[in-house]
Structure 1
Amino acid sequence: MKSVASLFQDDHSVTIDVKNVTAIELDPPMEIDEGQWACSLIIRAGSGFIAIQMVAASPESFTLMGSDPFAG
């Protein structure tokens, strides 16, 4: 399995192609300092995992957006 990652410096975007995804987890936000919240996003795949640690000013920033793909 081959994964490809690209970093675009102009807008600080990261694109990663991941095959054989087995799970996606979003940890509950936790306050790490006054007005500073942290949360981890973990993508599990057949060959390992990707962990993204994020920091924001409020826990609401970690709300998943979009519709539920499994909703009837």
Structure 2
Amino acid sequence: MVSKIVVIFILFVIVVYIRFFNFWSMVSFKTGFLIAILLFFLSCLSLVFILKIAIVPCIVAIHYLLFRYVKSKYARK
């Protein structure tokens, strides 16, 4: 079973990735890290729920990248 430290590391990497590329400007690095710490201490949450929370920003970022790529490639000049 995946430990909670690995889940925190995954959330940490996602927050850094999102902030670096400015995909989700409303969430600061501090807020994302606090969310990761809260998820670490809330042991009543299941691991599946925590992983779903970690995957959602990745899906949003991928859709944003695909939308920008398609828009820039097929934009009429």
Instruction: Confirm or deny a common fold (TM above 0.5).
Output: no
Determine which structure has greater relative contact order: mean sequence separation of CA pairs < 8 Å that are 6+ residues apart, divided by chain length.
Answer: 2
Q: Which has the higher helix share?
A: 2
Q: Which has the higher strand share?
A: 1
